[in-house]
Amino acid sequence: MFRKRSGTTDKGKSYEDKIVAIIALKLVSKKEVKSFELSSNNSEFGDFDDVVVHTTLHNNKCQNVALQLKHKINEKRILKNSLAAKSGSFSLQHYCQQFQKLNCHSNFTWVLYTNNILELNGPFTFQLEEKEHIEVTAKLGNCLWRHLLNTSKVDECVIEFEVTKEGSGDEDKLEASGYKHFFENFRLYVNQANVEKATSSISSVFAETYDGASSSSFVNFITAWSLQEGRKDLLTDEIIKPKICEIALTPYIKIPPSIKQDKKSLLLRQIINQFDITIAKTFHANLWQDVDRFDDAIRKTIKKFGIVCDDIDDVSRLEVLDKVRILWHMKELPLFIETTESNGELIEKVLELCQGKRKFILIGENIDVTEFSGLSVFQNLADLNVDDTSCKALLKEFTVSLQGRKEIPLKEILQIDDKMKQALTPSHLENMLITKNNNLEWVTSNGSINTLRKHRFTAEDFHESRASSLSENKFNIICGEAGSDVWVISLNLRQHFSQMKKEYKSCEEVLDHICRLESKQHNYSSFDEEIRNIFQQKKKFVVLWDGLDERMWFNGLLRDLTCKRCWKTNSMSLPSQSKN
């Protein structure tokens, strides 16, 4: 927090806001900068209050700078007399006196920053007005802040000063030593960009780095922050970086509808909250509470993030998108982002900015997780910590049905093979949230419902040895599931007769062909095929042949499949069915 200096609003505010924006954009791009804090019109810094920057490098060294801005609509030349004068916009005497009034601020560079022109063809010397005993030399200088502050197109833009002559008396020497101390860390930046050029520079950064995102939104955010009076928050890297990210990603934000909050949705939400990024091909449900429930929290921080700048009496009137962005800044929910081939590079850049401080759900195909090094990513169940309490509960509560069979917990599925972890993704977990009620809805029918009663059957369990004697039944059905640890392949061979009647070099070739036909016949999803392939690799599946005994080449085909478990049926009675 800092206190804004009173009476500073509307004095060169546009230029000040643009310079703050430029410095902030440059700071976020510097990898050597670990963290930073920005303030403007900071009451602790006297005449160097316009922009104050604190930085901490990754080697934990601190570097700081305080700026006094002097902007002229029509650039003017800075004269030697202006530098030597007792007072004025470029009076070195004035700024030295202001510096000496400040409390000691270590590791600071003090900068007078202007778009006015100073042509320096070489060092020049002058005496301070009414202080002829102090002679000062101006020359081109270096500044460790040049890479962040400079907006000039010319090289001769940083001027430094030194005392080259001083009086012989003790008082004169003491006064000169004050100027020497001041000049050690004082720089004059000249020929800098004016308001129009600064605005263009900001637009160029957003166009080149952030895929043409709205630079005006960023400047408006800086302006709204700057206009706040009294004590207010510093602009830190933890505020600036997410703000840039939000502005750049706004066109791609997806707002899924909220779903009923139950045990399963809560578990999945807890899992997702453990990761910086969740990747899903599809994701249609908002696992978090409806955004309207956060209205009270939004009301307290409505202006903090620069999404809404005007006073709003009724938060419920805000657009849903505005609420979502505010809640994301508050770390209450992740941003759902739709990815495409065209925005992949942009997403990679802005997510790196957030450095794991905010959550994202990326929705799309072929998302390359290797681009998010340093961030925790939830792409499939292999990314989960199986010893985590939430993970254990999720594997117990979430169930899946293979080939329409009885649902089993994910825990049992994962015991089949470790590769199952890679096959199950957040998209599949979301699909498992769909609630079933074990009922069919009767929509409409013609005539009386009594006409349907004769078609109603009563199920009966019996031993398979009785099957042939149950002639009074309209249907004889023997049904037994193959078990959760096998995959059953069934084909309508009449559709594939010509394709099956060929020579095969190996058992694997037969199975590959059968699996391709099965996928085509059943219109399997990529998930189904992936699970089936795992069973195939583990040799955990059953092939059910029906009617192949009518073909002479049937036994040869079965010999090719002796490494697998096969069931065949023939045209004889049920008791004579055989198992190979």
β-bridge partners, 123: none
Is 217 part of any domain? yes
Mean pLDDT of 148-160: 92
CA–CA gap between residue 346 and residue 360 (Å, rounded): 14
Is 329 part of any domain? no
User: Burial level of 417, CB count in 10 A (0-12/13-18/19+)?
Assistant: middle
Is 437 part of any domain? no
Note whether 157 and 86 are same-domain residues.
yes
| pLDDT band, very low/low/confident/very high, at 205 (cuts 50, 70, 90) | very high
The total number of residues shown for the chain amounts to: 580
CA–CA gap between residue 498 and residue 510 (Å, rounded): 14
Residue 549 reports pLDDT greater than 60: no
What is the tens place of the pLDDT at every residue in 68-117?
999 998 889 999 999 999 999 999 999 999 999 988 677 899 999 999 99
Note whether 84 and 166 are same-domain residues.
yes
Note whether 229 and 346 are same-domain residues.
no
The pTM of the whole model exceeds 0.85: no
Residue 53 reports pLDDT greater than 60: yes
The two beta strands, 131-140 and 124-128, are antiparallel
What is the per-residue DSSP string for 382-413?
GGS-TTSHHHHHHHHH-EE-STT---EEHHHH
Element (H, E) at 147: helix 146-149
Last residue of a domain, one of 369, 392, 409: 409
Q: What pLDDT score was predicted for residue 579?
A: 41
Residue 475 reports pLDDT greater than 60: no
Q: What pLDDT score was predicted for residue 516?
A: 79
- CA nearest 66: which of 75, 54, 76, 80? 54
Note whether 93 and 142 are same-domain residues.
yes
Q: What pLDDT score was predicted for residue 573?
A: 42
Note whether 57 and 178 are same-domain residues.
yes
Note whether 40 and 189 are same-domain residues.
yes
What is the tens place of the pLDDT at every residue in 7-50?
454 545 899 999 999 999 999 999 899 999 999 999 899 999 99
| pLDDT band, very low/low/confident/very high, at 466 (cuts 50, 70, 90) | low
Note whether 353 and 379 are same-domain residues.
yes
Is 240 part of any domain? no
Note whether 97 and 228 are same-domain residues.
yes
Note whether 401 and 491 are same-domain residues.
no
Of the listed ranges 67-76, 253-262, 376-385, 570-579, the one predicted with least confidence: 570-579
CA–CA gap between residue 555 and residue 580 (Å, rounded): 11
CB atoms within 10 A of CB 113: 23
Mean pLDDT of 568-574: 52
Note whether 403 and 513 are same-domain residues.
no
Note whether 175 and 36 are same-domain residues.
yes
Last residue of a domain, one of 409, 426, 448: 409
| pLDDT band, very low/low/confident/very high, at 478 (cuts 50, 70, 90) | low
Note whether 252 and 206 are same-domain residues.
no
Mean model confidence pLDDT for the chain: 83
CA–CA gap between residue 335 and residue 328 (Å, rounded): 6
- CA nearest 322: which of 310, 308, 312? 308
Residue ranges of alpha helices (H) inside 210-319 are 215-226, 237-249, 263-272, 295-300
Amino acid at 95: Y
Is 434 part of any domain? no
What is the tens place of the pLDDT at every residue in 296-310?
888 888 778 888 766
Phi, psi of 258 (to 5 degrees): -70, 150
Q: Which range of residues forms the domain containing residue 24?
A: 2-233
Residue 144 reports pLDDT greater than 80: yes
Element (H, E) at 360: strand 360-363
Q: Give yes or no for a contact between 258 and 290, defined as CB atoms under 8 angstroms apart.
A: yes
Query: Domains in the chain: how many in total?
Result: 3
